[in-house]
Structure 1
Amino acid sequence: MSDEIPFHIQENIIKRLPVVSLLQFRSVSKAWKSLIDSSKFIAAHSVTQAEHLLLSYEEPPQMLLSYEDPVKTETKYVLLLDDDSFPQQRFHYTLPLSIKLLKQSCIIGSSLGVLCFHCYYEEEEDFCTNLKSEMVLWNPSIRKSIDVPVPKKFNPYHESNLGFGVCPLTCDPKIVEITLFHKPRFHCEAKVYTVSSRKWRNFTSNLPSKPFRVFYPHVVVDRFIYWCAFDPMTMDNGLPNHNLIMSFDITNESFGVVDLPDSLRRHPPLQLCVSKVRESLVMLEYDSYMKGACGVWMMENGVVKSFIKLFTVEAPNWSRTIKTLGFRRSGEPIMEVEYRYDDSSEQREVVVYEPNSGRFTDLEMYGANETFSVNSYMETLVMLDRSDCNIEAEVDGF
């Protein structure tokens, strides 16, 4: 690029280039490398990429599907392009060593091109067994991962759930933990970890006004992390269910509540699940614990308690249960179906459901356990300005 072009114009042009090109252009000059590696540029480029992907139908979105290969007994990660070629174009990812070393690891969330892996394992010290937890953040586009140890000891009187998201303003990855304590009284506590600080912080304000039990999975829409939640006091006192959606604003680190229509508010809580279609919040309503049918509700224009039911998916005749893993851009759900192929064995496969025709399309991915997951994915520079390292996390209150 000519030196006669002002540098701020060069920056505006570079900001619109794909990640692969930017990684190459870092070697063009010191000025370009300094620009591309800066936190300000990384945030601006990532937001531009997200907005372009949302508004443009020319560039296909991507999704990362993981499943346990029943033959090789290993977890595979496959990148699928959500375009006319779906699902023929498949790109297999090789995990970094930091994730391979984690036993029984799984993706708990994705945001702005960063995947968050989580793993529990037992560690013996002085003849005592402690339940430990470890997390890894990985950006496949730039081949960078960061380890986040989470020291935790098992406590039968509390239950915790995690959420992960990248702040759209600063591109700082954040992990939030919500814990519901049963004794000596029902109450909630929360901690947040930020990559920029390499530290866990206890919340002292902005906590939910009432104790709520949140449960996996969560979903990130815009700047919010959402979980299904319910008031445990109603269940313990034999009152009608009080379901809701708990939100966490990644930008200002505040909690909020999304109220549900009466039919969803009173539904058995463990038969509800949050998801999203593009950048719209979706609630999944299963008919029973066996999950023979799934109703899909979408929030209208971000209005609280304004959900419309789009359609209901009935399990096919050859399947026992169904589970919605995610959605294509078109709104077609990607689903896991379970069936028996003899008197004793069970198998699961991934299919796409077409609401208009009611037809299921097999993606030819099979597993023996509930190991399938689908996460939206996009290429970004998030964490480019961070070094690959094992972070010795500081944790307030431990």
Structure 2
Amino acid sequence: MARGGEKPFLHFDIIINILGRLPVKSILRFRSVCKDWNNLFKTQSFIAKHARHSAHESPFLLLHAYDYSSKRPSLRLLNQKMETIEVLSIPSNYLFNLGWRIIGSCNGLLCVEGRAFRAEGGPFRLLRLWNPLTREVREIPPIRNVRPSISGFGFSSIVNDYKIVTFSYLQTEGLNYESLNYDVRVVHVYSLSTDSWKELEFGALQKKEIIEGNVSVDGTMAWIGYDDSFHVLVTFDIVTEVFTSTPIPSAVGVLSTDLGVYQNKFLISGHHGSHFMDIWVMEQVACESGKHFSCSEKYSVDLPSYALDIFCIWGNEIVCCEEETKAGVEGKSKFHLKLFNLTTRQWKEFPNISSSHDCCVGFSYGGSLVSLFNPQVQ
């Protein structure tokens, strides 16, 4: 505190701590305050500090809805009070104009998959990385002669790298789109630090069927898979690039299974009937053969509606979407949000948060300054 005629003064460490808690939009605006601040916002240590605070202290709920007939997407951020704080601008390039979806979110970056068309060979998939708050978009080079079908996205602070994993079907040379051979599945991993792909060994993936639902935490990606008709948790270590398969308790997912992240652990939910769901927390355990996962907690939840789909885990809340088909409008549905608090075990409904699009998905999202062209986070 200043005394007498002294000028007000704050130690620079205190200023850094304050700035690290601000939203991305404010920091981008404050770059013009002075040269020291502009340089600070570009340092890896500040970017990492800001990303950690955004992800763990004040994550947003990112809602992505899409109307296929009008090609009208909606992308917005909600705060903890379920207030829309920002409607995000969507890039006006050909990838985002043809229909796209978000594969995963990590440190403020989105991995986005879009569709494009070749003159010969029909449609193919394109991958992009996008920071919607800084508006940076980075093209991911395609994999030659491969048709990706399922992907995952994650980050490891140990190697300071973002990676994308794809499970694909190999396209035989000379075949057209109608006669592709889908029998051979291959796995590729993309590294942002090297901007390149490489093929991986199957390892623990042998005879596993991978389904959608990728999430990542603490340097590990995960998917739900099937092995001889029972569920398995398929994980990928971003550092070692090794797959692990862990059986999921047979009680999980009689009707359907969803995957999320809760307190830096994987959370698996399974529907047993129209109004009942079990939730299991899978914790990573070290052993002589490496790492595996075991169930550490279990929750049983009574569902208020049979038409609930789980979007994501947001803090200690499970974000669910209730679908309500519009009378007289074929193929059109309206979506309402419901939240289940894992601490209080109570449901909250938000009828004012709704969408009349064809599809709607949600992600826990921590905005960041991470650059796609200098992405080291530490």
TM-score (ref. length: structure 2)? 0.76
Q: Contact 1:69–1:366 (CA<8 Å) still a contact in 2?
A: no
Residues in 2 aligned to 1:70 and 1:114: alpha-carbon distance in whole angstroms: 24
* Structure 2 residue 233 is matched with structure 1 residue 255: no
Q: 1:49 to 1:251 in 2, by over 3 A?
A: farther
Aligned residue in 1 for 2:82 = 87
For residue 122 of structure 1, what is the amino acid of its counterpart? F
Displacement after TM superposition at 1:147 (Å): 1.5
Equivalent runs, 1:369-384 vs 2, <5 Å = 369=358, 371-383=359-371
Displacement after TM superposition at 1:35 (Å): 5.7
For residue 190 of structure 1, what is the amino acid of its counterpart? V
Q: Secondary structure at the match of 1:244?
A: strand
Aligned residue in 1 for 2:4 = none
* Structure 2 residue 273 is matched with structure 1 residue 277: no
Displacement after TM superposition at 1:73 (Å): 5.1
Q: 1:278 to 1:364 in 2, by over 3 A?
A: same
Displacement after TM superposition at 1:348 (Å): 2.8
Aligned residue in 2 for 1:122 = 117
Q: Secondary structure at the match of 1:217?
A: coil
Q: 1:99 to 1:144 in 2, by over 3 A?
A: farther
Match of 1:190 among 175, 187, 190: 187
Displacement after TM superposition at 1:207 (Å): 3.2
Aligned residue in 2 for 1:214 = 210
Q: Contact 2:169–2:182 (CA<8 Å) still a contact in 1?
A: no
Q: Secondary structure at the match of 1:263?
A: coil
Equivalent pairs counted in the alignment come to: 349
Residues in 1 aligned to 2:110 and 2:323: alpha-carbon distance in whole angstroms: 25
Residues in 1 aligned to 2:347 and 2:19: alpha-carbon distance in whole angstroms: 42
Alignment deviations for residues 337-385 of structure 1 (CA, whole Å, 9 cap, x no partner): 233534966523122144645564324422252x111011112222264
TM-score (ref. length: structure 1)? 0.73
Q: Contact 2:109–2:130 (CA<8 Å) still a contact in 1?
A: yes
Q: Contact 1:133–1:152 (CA<8 Å) still a contact in 2?
A: no
Equivalent runs, 1:92-171 vs 2, <5 Å = 92-98=87-93, 101-124=96-119, 128-151=120-143, 153=145, 160-169=149-158, 171=160
Q: Contact 2:66–2:360 (CA<8 Å) still a contact in 1?
A: yes
Q: Contact 1:284–1:294 (CA<8 Å) still a contact in 2?
A: no
Q: Contact 1:283–1:297 (CA<8 Å) still a contact in 2?
A: yes
Q: Secondary structure at the match of 2:234?
A: strand
Q: Contact 2:90–2:96 (CA<8 Å) still a contact in 1?
A: no
Displacement after TM superposition at 1:176 (Å): 0.9
Match of 1:295 among 253, 277, 291: 277
Displacement after TM superposition at 1:72 (Å): 6.0
Residues in 1 aligned to 2:220 and 2:122: alpha-carbon distance in whole angstroms: 33
For residue 317 of structure 2, what is the amino acid of its counterpart? G
Q: 1:69 to 1:339 in 2, by over 3 A?
A: same
Q: Secondary structure at the match of 2:93?
A: helix
Q: 1:15 to 1:245 in 2, by over 3 A?
A: farther
Residues in 1 aligned to 2:157 and 2:93: alpha-carbon distance in whole angstroms: 26
Residues in 2 aligned to 1:154 and 1:372: alpha-carbon distance in whole angstroms: 28
Residues in 1 aligned to 2:329 and 2:42: alpha-carbon distance in whole angstroms: 58
Q: Which sections of structure 2, spanning at least 5 residues, go unmatched?
A: 1-6, 173-180, 286-292
Alignment deviations for residues 215-255 of structure 1 (CA, whole Å, 9 cap, x no partner): 11211122211100112xx2xxxxxx231111112233222
* Structure 2 residue 329 is matched with structure 1 residue 325: no
Alignment deviations for residues 2-35 of structure 1 (CA, whole Å, 9 cap, x no partner): 9xx999x699758845445654565577676556
Q: Contact 1:276–1:327 (CA<8 Å) still a contact in 2?
A: yes
| Identity percentage of aligned residues | 19
Residues in 1 aligned to 2:156 and 2:266: alpha-carbon distance in whole angstroms: 18
Q: Secondary structure at the match of 1:306?
A: strand
Residues in 1 aligned to 2:67 and 2:169: alpha-carbon distance in whole angstroms: 35
Bigger Cα displacement from structure 2, 277-286 vs 338-347: 338-347
Displacement after TM superposition at 1:293 (Å): 4.2
Q: Contact 1:276–1:282 (CA<8 Å) still a contact in 2?
A: yes
Displacement after TM superposition at 1:310 (Å): 1.7
Alignment deviations for residues 145-180 of structure 1 (CA, whole Å, 9 cap, x no partner): 11114245577xxx7421011233454321111347
Aligned residue in 2 for 1:337 = 323
Aligned residue in 2 for 1:314 = 303
Q: 1:311 to 1:331 in 2, by over 3 A?
A: farther
Displacement after TM superposition at 1:64 (Å): 0.8
Q: Contact 1:131–1:152 (CA<8 Å) still a contact in 2?
A: no
Q: Contact 1:322–1:338 (CA<8 Å) still a contact in 2?
A: no
Residues in 2 aligned to 1:134 and 1:185: alpha-carbon distance in whole angstroms: 19
Q: Secondary structure at the match of 1:325?
A: strand
Q: Contact 2:266–2:283 (CA<8 Å) still a contact in 1?
A: no
Bigger Cα displacement from structure 2, 332-341 vs 219-228: 332-341
Q: 1:334 to 1:201 in 2, by over 3 A?
A: same
For residue 137 of structure 2, what is the amino acid of its counterpart? S
Residues in 2 aligned to 1:6 and 1:362: alpha-carbon distance in whole angstroms: 46
Match of 1:229 among 195, 217, 225: 225
Residues in 2 aligned to 1:105 and 1:343: alpha-carbon distance in whole angstroms: 24
Aligned residue in 2 for 1:237 = none
Residues in 1 aligned to 2:47 and 2:203: alpha-carbon distance in whole angstroms: 28
Q: Secondary structure at the match of 2:248?
A: coil
